[in-house]
Amino acid sequence: MRIDSHQHFWRYEPARYPWIGERMGVLKRDYLPHDLEPLLAASGIDGTVAVQAQQARAETDWLLELADRHAFIRGVVGWADLRSNDVAAELVRLGRRPKLVGVRHIVHDEPDDDFLLRPDFRRGLARLREHGLVYDLLLFPKHLTRALRVVEELPDQPFVLDHIAKPGIRDGLFSPWREDLRRLAAFPNVSCKLSGMVTEARWEAWRPEDLQPYLDAVLEAFGANRLMIGSDWPVCTLAGDYARTMGVVVDWTARLSAADRSGILGWNAARIYGLDGRRGEA
């Protein structure tokens, strides 16, 4: 089984997706399941996890509706306002949807670098485990030290680090990202997506060998059983098509054991997100 653990859908409206900037013209259109499905077939991908790209309750409901209509969408990482006084009721509502497997907030766009540490946000985070939901960490390297405090505080809450925390690949930067990543990976409740790397490299000029040292560093930190492949489609198309983007990780795993390779390419995502229907049992 091969699972793309991180992709997006949207009906593009500028006001809803302000993070899509001027250099991102290719993203300024609708991206829907019929656009992705042939790419999955061509790359031998059996299913995906669709991830929120807008902090709106309506988008989460829409993604869940898409998942109900398209069997290849195995799970949804949506958004809920974890700071809200009504978060308990909202999580009960969302928890009735079996394909909701996680929640995410676009933390790296918050002006407050300590957003993860806000008491109201942490109270909401603490409610996810009772609903069997993973929390996806969308961070820059500067946020990793804050994430350390949160994952230590919630040892029973599963976390997944998106996009290997977006290190400075285009400039060949490793420190302090690598050291902080190791500290985060020391907590067994944290896993990591091998995704979002091509857009942190030089969009027009990256080579697979530019990404391999970062993949090696993440493998050393987390071990193979807590890693999962993800395309970040359609955002990846800023720097490479679907097949080339996924091929970087697929080719890199060729040196690993069959069990480790199978885990990274699909089974780990199925286990960690509970895509087999056993949500929250990872």
Instruction: Residue 25: name the closest of 237, 257, 253, 216 by CA.
Output: 237
> What is the structure's pLDDT at 277?
62
> What is the structure's pLDDT at 282?
44
Amino acid, single-letter form, for residue 44: G
Could you give the angle at the alpha carbon of 196 between the alpha carbons of 191 and 246, nearest 5°? 90
Burial 165-203 (b: 16+ CB within 10 A, else e): bbbebeeeeeeebbebbebbbeeebbbbbbbbbbbbbee
pTM: 0.96
Q: How far apart are CA 11 and CA 255, in angstroms?
A: 39
Burial 239-272 (b: 16+ CB within 10 A, else e): bbebeebbebbbebbeebeeebbbbbbbbbbbbb
Q: How far apart are CA 203 and CA 78, in angstroms?
A: 28
In order of start, what are the domains of the chain with their CATH numbers?
3-273 (3.20.20.140)
pLDDT in tens, the chain (282 residues): 999 999 999 999 999 999 999 899 999 999 999 999 999 999 999 999 999 999 999 999 999 999 999 999 999 999 999 999 999 999 999 999 999 999 999 999 999 999 999 999 999 999 999 999 999 999 999 999 999 999 999 999 999 999 999 999 999 999 999 999 999 999 999 999 999 999 999 999 999 999 999 999 999 999 999 999 999 999 999 999 999 999 999 999 999 999 999 999 999 999 999 996 655 544
Q: How far apart are CA 282 and CA 279, in angstroms?
A: 8
> What is the structure's pLDDT at 279?
55
